[in-house]
Amino acid sequence: MSAKSKNANRSILVAIGVFLLTKFKFIFLFLKGFKFTGTIISMGFALYFYALVFGWKFGVALIYLIFIHELGHIIAARMKGINTGLPMFIPFVGAFINLKELPRDAKTEAFLAYGGPLAGLISFLPAIPLYIYTEEPLWALVIHLGAIINLFNLLPVSPLDGGRIVAVLSPNIWFLGLLVLGAFIFISPSPMIVLIFIFGMFSWWSHLTGDYRHKRLQYERDKWAQLYQEISRWIHQPLTSQERYDLQRDYMQAQQQPHQKKPFMFPLFQEEKKLAYEKVLLTRQFIMKRWELLVAHEQEQYRNAWNQYADSTASTTEAQAFSQHDQEAEGRIHDAEQGPYQPEPGILQHTISITETKLADMDKELERHAGYYETDSATRWKVLIAYLVLAGLLAAFYFYSDQMLLELRQVMKTT
């Protein structure tokens, strides 16, 4: 191209840039309340390393594509009323956003995850007419990079976006994604892919053991509820001698019981055996906790009674001294007018307050576990179609840009 044509192209690109900044200024207004410091610093570091290794044009293109991808997650989260931070960049890894609250269910999580690749697709669409008009290799690279980044993110492996999307269908699909990642590692080893594979294994394992964790949490929650009812009754109704004897007997038996060595159990195949072992430990723990709370409560009652008696005796003595010495004891009678001894809230009240908070947190966690992946068939079909359409479009642009780059390489060889 002639110098005149290149200058004309630059003018057109500047005009396009100004137009986009004008039309999309709402994005900057949308993010006005966020703190940009961490994002700008991490973006600068990432850009420096990318430019150092691949050149500044590649670095700018990569940062732009990653930022728009993460911005899609942020906008999707805001649409669902979930507060987030701005992206933080990690060189040669990518970027992440901090969710300040967890999604309510897998359907909401899928919506948040879908926003990233969708915005990523939109981010490189302007590069297509720019490449057609200018034939600048940079725009072909932007299309290629954008398609690769977002298509890779759609792999059905948690914590990638694709894994969080297909979880609405079934988290068991993650195993297929792990097989694909395993093939990638075998064909073209990469530290980042290995890291994602490890995290994916942990996520898949967490899903497989979810039923055990739910049952254990339910059992522990029941024990805390039982303790809450008992100590609430102790405040208003002292224990009978027989009840106290039974608690002490259970405590002595639990204390004398030899410590059980954790038996070997095959993961996944002996979850019931593992749960039974955990129930024994929890039962012993709460037996000892009940008795220790009762002893602490009785000691506290004794101290309160003694302090109240001492306070009453001191008040009587000061009153007598006032009648004998008149004004000399005025300061001491002022202390006596403060009233009888008022004990601070006791250990039982404190334990009840802690238990109420703990029970509320456990109820939320149990509710989240129980219905997190439950959704209707219509939603599953919508998610599946949206996932396949987005993956198909990204794959088409990947092969399209790959063909463009191949043609460019052939032209460069012939010139």
The pair phi, psi for residue 83, each rounded to 5°, is -80, 140
**Residue 191: which of 93, 119, 106, 261 has the closest Cα?**
93
**Is the distance from CB of 196 to CB of 181 less than 8 angstroms?**
yes
The pair phi, psi for residue 140, each rounded to 5°, is -65, -40
DSSP 220-252: HHHHHHHHHHHHHHHHHSPPPHHHHHHHHHHHH
- Angle ∠(341,346,347) on CA atoms, nearest 5: 155
Q: What is the pLDDT of residue 366?
A: 87
Q: What is the pLDDT of residue 18?
A: 42
- What distance in Å separates the CA atoms of residue 253 and residue 258, rounded to the nearest whole number? 10
Q: What is the pLDDT of residue 101?
A: 82
**Is the distance from CB of 398 to CB of 144 less than 8 angstroms?**
yes
Q: What is the pLDDT of residue 323?
A: 52
Report if pTM > 0.75. no
- The encoded tokens of residue 339 equal 């009233």
**Residue 180: which of 160, 165, 207 has the closest Cα?**
160
Amino acid at 357: T
Q: What is the pLDDT of residue 412?
A: 63
Q: What is the pLDDT of residue 20?
A: 43
Which stretches in the chain have pLDDT values below 70? 1-36, 260, 263, 266-269, 311, 314-345, 411-415
State pLDDT tens for residues 361-414. 998 888 877 778 888 889 999 999 999 999 999 999 999 888 887 777 776 666
CA distances 319 to 308, 313, 325, 328, Å, are 17, 10, 10, 12
Amino acid at 325: H
DSSP symbol at 261: P
Amino acid at 415: T
- Angle ∠(62,68,74) on CA atoms, nearest 5: 140
The structural domains of the chain, with segments of one domain joined by +, span 38-168+383-414, 212-313+343-372
User: What proportions of the chain, in percent to the nearest 5, are helix, strand and coil?
Assistant: 80, 0, 20
**Is the distance from CB of 354 to CB of 361 less than 8 angstroms?**
no
**Residue 89: which of 62, 113, 109, 110 has the closest Cα?**
62
Q: What is the pLDDT of residue 72?
A: 93
State pLDDT tens for residues 338-352. 444 344 458 888 899
Q: What is the pLDDT of residue 269?
A: 67
- What distance in Å separates the CA atoms of residue 199 and residue 182, rounded to the nearest whole number? 13
- The encoded tokens of residue 325 equal 């010495």
- What distance in Å separates the CA atoms of residue 298 and residue 215, rounded to the nearest whole number? 35
DSSP 24-78: THHHHHHTTTS--HHHHHHHHHHHHHHHHHH-HHHHHHHHHHHHHHHHHHHHHHH
Whose tokens are 């986009």? That residue is 20
State pLDDT tens for residues 265-305. 766 667 788 888 888 889 999 999 999 888 888 888 888 77
